[in-house]
Amino acid sequence: MLPLEDVRIVAVEQYGAGPFGTVHLADPGAEVIKIEDPRSGGDVGRYVVPFQEGEDSLFFETFNRNKRSLSLDLATDSGQAVLRDLVRVSDAIYSNLRGDIPQRLGLTYEQLRHVNPRIVCCALTGFGMTGPRRAEPAYDYILQGIAGWMSLTGEPGGPPTKSGLSLVDYCGGFVAALALVCGVHAARRDGHGMDCDLSLFDVAVSMLSYPATWLLNRGYEPVRTAQSAHPSLVPFQNFETSDGWIVVGCAKEKFWRRLTEVVERPDLADDPRFRDFTLRRENRDVLIPILVEILRARPTSYWLPRLAAAGIPSGPVNTVDQALREPQTAARRMLVETEHERWGLLQAPASPVRVGTPRGDHRRAPHRNEDAERVLRDLLGYDEARRRALEAAGAFGQD
């Protein structure tokens, strides 16, 4: 069995952060039943361009493999009745909505405990279910600004800059997945479930990490650094070569001494201005131009083998294409394949969550409402009359 094969999750989710979290639960075996709103054509991720046709998009495929889909209108009493039946046979209900909506849709533990006392209600919202911003919508881009990330990203003197990836969304998904697993473990141990009130805002603030600690306790002012330099370790940054860029990181004194040998300047190791971490940081403006000039004189192919042979942490600044073609990517099986009727054989990044042997039988993302028969008949035991009555009452919407 896969590690989470005995876990069933009802996921009221859409777009990026929420589905990113549950795909890393579905990959190790959890049954994720994705609830899609029939009034809006299902998950908006189905319609993200440029690689989109009909209700299929490569964006949606990335975040929804190994899941099942059920169209359900939670704004109707009949839709809520089906939801409660799903809660009875599930371990968790997971959502990524605005902070005021989980309670409005009846997705909290207080509202569902009478249905299933062990249910874990995991809500990943923009700003959380409390506080003055709880009812505001939030997206990764906005949160990178509010949480101070943009003020730290980019070159000094340049405009505030967003990370090239939606890291608040993705880290939020991982945090929600971790919270859900913790909650299910506790519910099975203690016999009762709980709420997991998670927010992308909390995640973004938490990830300010040690610069925030420095600021709060010593008045440190985080600032942008040239060439993506580390705020305290010198040298630890991007360096231009004659034909590209590399990253060199001297996180230990031994690496610094080895670097002086590689660049054929052993005198720098004993220079009183650069003898230890503190002195190199104080004299950064003297040391870095020396290294920049040396490293810029030769190509990447010259420096990287020599740095690797010396055991100095280093690597190329790859394009995305180069990163996906790295030998280590293949060695770690970090690309998965699925078959799709419209797109053919698809490749996508694998989950980094490794527990035992990774699964090898990945399913494509579900078509909208593809699993209605399996969920309603096989899982919930609805007969034809019950299904027709629910359909007439609007539970499954009008396609």
335 strand-pairing partners = 349
State the catalytic residue, choosing from 24, 114, 192, 230: 230
| 345: its two tokens | 């054989």
* Sheet with 31-36: strands ordered across: 68-71, 31-36, 8-12, 92-95, 120-125, 194-199
Write the DSSP symbol of residue 298: S
Task: Give CA–CA dist 97/137, Å, rounded.
Answer: 8
What are the angstrom distances between the C-alpha of 393 and each of 174, 371, 380? 37, 20, 18
| C-beta atoms surrounding 285 within 10 Å | 8
Q: What does R_g of the chain's alpha carbons equal in angstroms?
A: 25
Task: Give CA–CA dist 58/348, Å, rounded.
Answer: 9
Write the DSSP symbol of residue 50: S
- Judge if the upstream peptide bond of residue 313 is cis by omega within 30 degrees of 0: no
Burial environment of residue 210 by CB neighbours within 10 A (0 to 12, 13 to 18, 19 or more): exposed
Burial environment of residue 14 by CB neighbours within 10 A (0 to 12, 13 to 18, 19 or more): buried
Active site annotation includes 230: yes
- Are 16 and 25 within 8 A, CB to CB? no
First to last CA, the chain: 37
- Are 147 and 220 within 8 A, CB to CB? no
CB burial of 301-340 (b: ≥16 within 10 Å; e: otherwise) equals eebbeebeeeebebebbeeeeeeeeeeeeeeeebebebeb
Annotated active-site positions, please? Answer: 230
